Amino acid sequence: NAGVTQTPKFRVLKTGQSMTLLCAQDMNHEYMYWYRQDPGMGLRLIHYSVGEGTTAKGEVPDGYNVSRLKKQNFLLGLESAAPSQTSVYFCASSYVVGGAGNQPQHFGDGTRLSIL
């Protein structure tokens, strides 16, 4: 059982380059999330999705775009990478049972992204 799989695990980009981070879950979860983790700041929500074909902005959405074309996949895109986007990115997914928020999130192992 793979759970939540993030691809790639590491990446170094130059300022202005673009890239897409892939998140795949095999648990048939409705909700999926993208976070960034920076030292001393915990996890901050970038975007999330409550189902296939839907996305919504989180706390820090600027500079990022997302898509959820298939239920099991959630893509995070950086159109023009900036050094401020150097971070560790985590994808998570969760069930919805009788309403949102009462089920824990399952996390991937993260993507470590450096922007030079």
To other proteins, the closest distance from the beta carbon of 106 in angstroms equals 8
Nearest approach in angstroms of CB 3 to other proteins is 9
Residues 115, 14 contacting (CB under 8 angstroms): yes
By three-state DSSP, how is residue 84 classified? helix
Nearer to other proteins by C-beta: 47 or 75? 47
The residue (of 14 and 42) whose beta carbon lies closer to other proteins is 42
Place of tokens 């759970």: 3
How far apart are the C-alpha atoms of 109 and 4, rounded to whole Å? 8
Residue 107 burial by CB count (10 A; 0-12/13-18/19+): exposed, middle or buried? Answer: middle
Task: List contacts with other proteins (CB under 8 A).
Answer: 4, 31, 33, 35, 40-45, 48, 50, 56, 58, 90, 92, 99-102, 104-110
- Pairing of β 10-13 and β 111-115: parallel
Nearer to other proteins, 22 or 45 (CB): 45
Q: Minimum distance between the CB of residue 42 and other proteins, rounded to whole angstroms?
A: 4
Question: Rounded to the nearest whole angstrom, what is the least distance from the CB of residue 9 to other proteins in the complex?
Answer: 9
- Please, are residues 40 and 25 in contact by the beta-carbon 8 Å criterion? no
Which lies closer to other proteins via its Cβ, residue 28 or residue 99? 99
